[in-house]
Amino acid sequence: MGAGGNVSTFESRPLESGHAPVNGIKMYYEVHGRKDGVPLVLLHGGGSTIEVTFSKVLPVFAGRRRVIALEEQAHGRTTDRNAPVAFESSADDVAVMPFRHLKLAS
């Protein structure tokens, strides 16, 4: 614990971040942690972002894993498309992005 009984906080800086073209949107992503770690993909909830949902736990995961955090359609820094936000399209976006853009093995 830090001074005054506060729990100390750790930060994780991305190894890589940017926008990937995925199914008609520019999906924002960040890669944290070990380059050789087993990948873990983090998905935020509706109306959220990477920082809001994962800022406290991301450094913990990144200590042992390669963490890929994504912002879904029309959230945070990801663009929107001319179609409603739907679970099916979000699943399609997430299934494609890490493997195509980051060249992870499927």
* pLDDT per residue as tens digits for the range 40-81: 999 998 889 999 999 999 999 999 999 999 999 999 999 999
Computed over every residue of the chain, the mean pLDDT equals: 87
pLDDT exceeds 70 at position 9: no
| Tokens at 96, concatenated | 């494609």
Give the contacts of 76 (CB within 8 A, at least 6 positions apart): 28, 48, 49, 50, 51
Confidence of residue 8 (pLDDT cuts 50, 70, 90): very low
Phi first, then psi: give them for residue 81, nearest 5 degrees.
Answer: -125, 165
In angstroms, rounded to a whole number, what is the distance separating the alpha carbons of residues 106 and 104?
6
Q: Are 102 and 32 in contact (CB under 8 A)?
A: no
